[in-house]
A and B are shown apart, each in its own frame.
Chain A
Amino acid sequence: AQSVAQPEDQVNVAEGNPLTVKCTYSVSGNPYLFWYVQYPNRGLQFLLKYITGDNLVKGSYGFEAEFNKSQTSFHLKKPSALVSDSALYFCAVRDMSGGSYIPTFGRGTSLIVHP
């Protein structure tokens, strides 16, 4: 079975400050991990993914995510937040081996960047 948790419903950060959106996962084998962003009244957009290799993954709009196998986490980060980063962020996981190829999504974290 695979699952993903986003422990914070909402994250507030001031513009220019670093931001972190947390994600932890559980899979039987090794994970493929994804981050998506949803702007108001829009569909989800792919940001970045971890497949294998370097634990720090860089993605769109200056976002990056750090894979930590021992802590089963894949936190999304950005060094300097922009007001335009305010959106809903979803983490998703697929197990590399066995089971369904369908990803499991977290419930989403609302990021609010204050001017």
Chain B
Amino acid sequence: NAGVTQTPKFQVLKTGQSMTLQCAQDMNHNSMYWYRQDPGMGLRLIYYSASEGTTDKGEVPNGYNVSRLNKREFSLRLESAAPSQTSVYFCASSSNRDRYSEQYFGPGTRLTVT
């Protein structure tokens, strides 16, 4: 039981390049989330998916797109990377929409855009 896995762990992009961050969970969770973490800003929600086939914008969606490929996988795409997207990205999942379910986080992807 690996929990939530993310690839890659590290990435360096040049401005304007694109990339996709991959996330998978093996806990049969319905809900999945993408966050970014910046110093002093805490966690900010980029996109989330309440269930397979649905996605919704979070607090900071601009510059990103997501795909809920199936129940296990939720990817985050940067179409044209900008230095402001330099951050640590975390994927998370939770069992369902019950408000008392805790979230499980992946190990993160550290992205630098030059």
- Footprint of B on A, CB under 8 Å? 9, 32, 34, 36, 41-46, 49, 51, 90, 94-96, 101-103, 105-108
Please tell me if the beta carbons of B108 and A102 are within 8 angstroms of each other in the complex: no
Please tell me if the beta carbons of B100 and A51 are within 8 angstroms of each other in the complex: yes
A34 CA / B106 CA spacing, docked (Å): 18
Please tell me if the beta carbons of B105 and A45 are within 8 angstroms of each other in the complex: yes
Interface residues on B, range: 20 to 34
Q: What are 11 A-B pairs at a CB distance below 8 A?
A: A36-B103, A36-B105, A43-B108, A44-B92, A44-B105, A45-B105, A46-B102, A95-B99, A101-B97, A105-B43, A108-B42
Query: What does DSSP make chain B's interface, helix, strand, loop or mixed?
Result: loop
Please give, as numbers and ranges, the residues of chain A lying within 8 Å of B74 by CB-CB distance.
none
- Is B16 on the interface with A (CB-CB < 8 A)? no
Please give, as numbers and ranges, the residues of chain A lying within 8 Å of B33 by CB-CB distance.
102
Please give, as numbers and ranges, the residues of chain A lying within 8 Å of B92 by CB-CB distance.
43-44
Please give, as numbers and ranges, the residues of chain A lying within 8 Å of B41 by CB-CB distance.
107
- 15 additional contacts, CB 8 Å, given A43-B4, A105-B42? A32-B99, A32-B100, A36-B105, A42-B107, A42-B108, A43-B92, A46-B102, A46-B103, A51-B100, A96-B99, A101-B97, A101-B98, A101-B99, A102-B58, A107-B41
A41 CA / B48 CA spacing, docked (Å): 23
Please give, as numbers and ranges, the residues of chain A lying within 8 Å of B107 by CB-CB distance.
42-43
Q: How far is the CB of B6 from chain A (nearest CB, A)?
A: 8
- Is B40 on the interface with A (CB-CB < 8 A)? yes
Q: How far is the CB of B25 from chain A (nearest CB, A)?
A: 12
Please tell me if the beta carbons of B104 and A94 are within 8 angstroms of each other in the complex: no
